[in-house]
């Protein structure tokens, strides 16, 4: 299976889910700003900080691709949002949310080399982007130019997203860029639960990825609540709150364990050269190991809640 040939500013959303989150220590960095959301400028600052923080939690998309491939889950087009729903998106909020959703679906389809489906999603996204006047930030030529360099592609996509965010905030429409990111994230979480259900391998890895979302969901919740006075965000915030309740008893703890690294095979012709940083064979090392505390019933509840929320958004 090939890596994606085209991506989008929101392929990053699915990468969030397949990362090992390191956001716990950052949770309080935006506290002061979040207490001042009644003023547009301060809301914009908090929004920007959250967007940047969430993007920092995005790992290499190679990890995402490898995890999906390792899962053994087949491509399932019926999981994705249907482009026939386009005509029902009649508000800026719904258009923005579904730019994010279609963006994640585009990334998923591309991971399975579904070219026809990918083109459908690209056209749908460009139509919605044109409707809310942000199509200039969707640089298709640049995507194609960097199609064989996934890391560069995602970096440029993230940059384009932040440029679009700044543009929308200048137009007092920062809620739309937040809706795009949240829509992409919700779709990525939904797909992850479905990949978990269908996977034949890597169950524990996927379970850990799902547990990690408890931390990231905190930031998604804060981002949505910046716009709680916006009626369009009402169902979204309610759905996120229900997801948080489903995650209430999920946790990841860490413990230090001793391991013995496997001997490193010498490189032919370089047997006498010492490998810098390589511990002697058999020498114990202490590493930190994560332990996921999430039950099958909790995963089932999370799956039901994210599916119900997604249904309201599409």
pLDDT in tens, 45-58: 666 676 666 656 65
Confidence bin at 32 (pLDDT 50/70/90) = very low
pLDDT number for residue 35: 39
Neighbours of 118 (CB within 10 A): 23
pLDDT number for residue 64: 57
CA-based Rg of the chain, rounded to a whole angstrom?
21
Whether 31 has a pLDDT exceeding 90, the answer reads no
Confidence bin at 95 (pLDDT 50/70/90) = very high
Q: List, for residues 128-145, the tens digit of each pLDDT value.
A: 989 998 888 877 666 666
Nearest to residue 3, comparing CAs of 47, 61, 44? 61
Whether 12 has a pLDDT exceeding 60, the answer reads no
pLDDT number for residue 55: 57
pLDDT number for residue 151: 62
Half-sphere exposure of 17 (CA within 13 A, CB side): 27
Q: List, for residues 272-313, the tens digit of each pLDDT value.
A: 555 555 556 567 778 877 788 899 999 999 999 999 999 999
pLDDT number for residue 171: 83
Confidence bin at 62 (pLDDT 50/70/90) = low
pLDDT number for residue 238: 96
pLDDT number for residue 169: 79
pLDDT above 70 covers a percentage of the chain that reads 66
Residue 118 contacts residue 2 (beta carbons within 8 Å)? no
- Cα(86)–Cα(143) distance, integer angstroms: 23
Sign of the four-CA dihedral 139, 159, 128, 194: positive
How many residues are present in the chain?
A: 314
**Chain-centroid distance, C-alpha 92:** 22
Whether 60 has a pLDDT exceeding 50, the answer reads no
- Which token pair is 131? 């409707």
pLDDT number for residue 28: 41
- Cα(97)–Cα(185) distance, integer angstroms: 10
Q: Mean pLDDT over all residues of the chain?
A: 75
Mean pLDDT, rounded, for 107-114: 80
Q: List, for residues 209-235, the tens digit of each pLDDT value.
A: 888 888 888 888 988 998 989 999 999
Least confidently predicted of 102-111, 121-130, 231-240: 102-111
Neighbours of 209 (CB within 10 A): 24
Mean pLDDT, rounded, for 182-190: 89
Confidence bin at 250 (pLDDT 50/70/90) = very high
């Amino acid at each position: 299976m090939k890596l994606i040939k085209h991506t989008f500013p929101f392929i990053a959303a699915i990468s969030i889910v397949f990362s090992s989150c390191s956001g716990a220590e950052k949770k309080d960095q935006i506290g002061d700003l979040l207490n001042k959301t009644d003023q547009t400028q301060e809301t914009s600052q908090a929004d920007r900080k959250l967007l940047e923080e969430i993007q920092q939690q995005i790992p290499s998309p190679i990890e995402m691709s490898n995890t999906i491939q390792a899962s053994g889950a087949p491509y399932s087009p019926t999981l994705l949002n249907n482009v026939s729903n386009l005509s029902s998106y009649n508000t800026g909020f719904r258009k923005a949310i579904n730019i994010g959703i279609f963006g994640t679906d585009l990334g998923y389809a591309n991971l399975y080399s579904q070219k026809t489906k990918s083109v459908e999603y690209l056209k749908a996204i460009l139509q919605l982007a044109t409707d809310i006047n942000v199509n200039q930030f969707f640089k298709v030529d640049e995507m194609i130019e960097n199609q064989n360099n996934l890391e560069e592609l995602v970096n440029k996509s993230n940059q384009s997203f932040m440029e679009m965010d700044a543009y929308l905030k200048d137009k007092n429409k920062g809620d739309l860029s937040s809706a795009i990111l949240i829509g992409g994230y919700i779709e990525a979480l939904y797909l992850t639960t479905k990949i978990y259900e269908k996977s034949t391998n890597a169950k524990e890895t996927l379970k850990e990825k799902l547990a990690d979302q408890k931390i990231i969901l905190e930031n998604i919740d804060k981002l949505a609540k910046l716009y709680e006075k916006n009626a369009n965000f009402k169902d979204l915030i309610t759905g996120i709150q229900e997801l948080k309740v489903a995650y209430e008893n999920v946790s990841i703890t860490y413990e230090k364990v001793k391991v013995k690294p496997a001997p490193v095979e010498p490189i032919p012709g370089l047997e006498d050269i010492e490998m810098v940083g390589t511990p002697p064979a058999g020498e114990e090392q202490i590493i930190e190991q994560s332990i996921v505390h999430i039950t099958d019933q909790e995963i089932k509840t999370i799956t039901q809640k994210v599916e119900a929320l997604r249904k309201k958004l599409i």
